[in-house]
Amino acid sequence: MITRRMFNQGLTAAALYSSTSATMTGSALGAEVQASERAEAEAAKQIAPAKASTPFRMGIIGAGSRGQELIRSFLRVPGVSVVAAADVYPLRFQQLSRVCTNDVAHYDDYRKLLERKDLDAVIVATPLGLHGEHVLAALKSGHNVYGEKVMAYTVEQAQAIVSAAGEQKVIYQVGHQYRYSPWIRAAVARVQQGEIGEVTHIAGYWHRNNDWRRPVPESSLERLINWRLYHQWSLGLIAELGSHHIDIANWVFGANPEAAMASGSICRYHDGRETDDNVQMVLSYSGGRRFIFSSVTDNAKMGDQLWLYGSKGSLNLTLEDASFFYEPKKITRAVPVGNGKDALVTSASYAPSSEMPYRGAGKPVDVMTAEDPTTAATRAFVYCVRTGTKPISDARVGLGSAMAVIRANESLRGRAEVKI
């Protein structure tokens, strides 16, 4: 077992390393630190409480559960109102009236909403299989867009969105809200400054114990309400849950993956669904680095978390906090002398206690606020539109995650590694 003394030695070593690295401003590490500091300064501007309160009128395409959650977050920003909504399910408009205090114009054809010239931005929160169509139409009509992840269902659609966002010179932000989480940003900044050494592996878990199915009032609405369970609209657990973790892995590694390998099955819920109820995925990055993701739907022990493994320590990220763990001081073993016969290695040289996982507390990341990431992300989007600033989670960020999700699904279906 790793003792408290060994753990504290790790803390001391990490502190010494951090102090030393801070003086290396002329080195590559120093350049990375400076780049990280600049990025954090810009992020702080976007995430900061809004000072402006000028009217900001929004429309939404797809006013389902996620769309309504986004609206609640946007309405916390001073000056924001939602004035128009498009959806094919009339019940959504009734639900929306309980979220918004003002009158909201209703459209059963999203193209009618996009004809409006009085909107400052449009939210797209439809099923994934429709993201490409709706986001592209909104961008090409000259609207600023907050689009839910994953940005598109196909590679062609994702690339077209990147092009359209650039050509139209509008603001497009992808809903990778964890890039806006205060504790995740603070922790990743410390990783980028070398606190846990070189990160070579990241493990992500999103384990739940439920069937991912929502109640349906009548059978004709099954695929509309439970769209995540069907291939026509969904790329499954890798998209709906894994895409968030993929985005963080891309951020930490400073690169997009080069190859994907995935597997999955339906082993628990034999209820007519098409998407798997469990998936496992490995993404390969340059230099042999790896991101490994697991999602199951019949056991919630691991919950939603990420582990970043570096040469000097580890970082655990969750939906509520972040904690660092540092490697214990390495033990120097005897080196054979002479002809080596006097340094016989026996089985006794293997100490099981040195292989035991550390089960104590880590060193938490302290932040001023534990604000919900979606609230921070929506406020940042309004700031970017008002100021013409490029979002943290822009089209290029969204493309990196989308390409991995799409190719990983190709690997899952083809049972072979796929280049990205």
Domains located in the chain, CATH noted: 46-179+375-400 (3.40.50.720), 185-325+339-371+401-419 (3.30.360.10)
Q: Any bridge partners for residue 21, and if so which? A: none
d(CA 41, CA 404): 29
pTM: predicted TM-score of the whole model, two decimal places:
0.88
pLDDT of residue 19: 46
d(CA 252, CA 258): 15
Residue 25 banded pLDDT, cuts 50, 70, 90 = very low
Report yes or no: 102 and 130 within 8 Å, Cβ to Cβ.
Answer: no
pLDDT of residue 7: 38
d(CA 221, CA 269): 20
DSSP one-letter code for 34? H
Closest CA to 320 of 180, 181, 177: 181
Strand residue runs (E) in 266-321: 278-284, 290-296, 304-310, 313-318
**pLDDT surpasses 80 at 203:** yes
Closest CA to 261 of 392, 390, 158, 415: 415
Percent of the chain's residues with pLDDT above 70: 88
**pLDDT surpasses 70 at 339:** no
**pLDDT surpasses 60 at 18:** no
pLDDT in tens, 125-152: 999 999 999 999 999 999 999 999 999 9
Is 19 exposed, middle or buried, given 0-12, 13-18 or 19+ CB atoms closer than 10 A? exposed
Higher pLDDT, residue 200 or 337: 200
Closest CA to 289 of 322, 312, 256: 256
pLDDT of residue 162: 97
d(CA 368, CA 371): 9
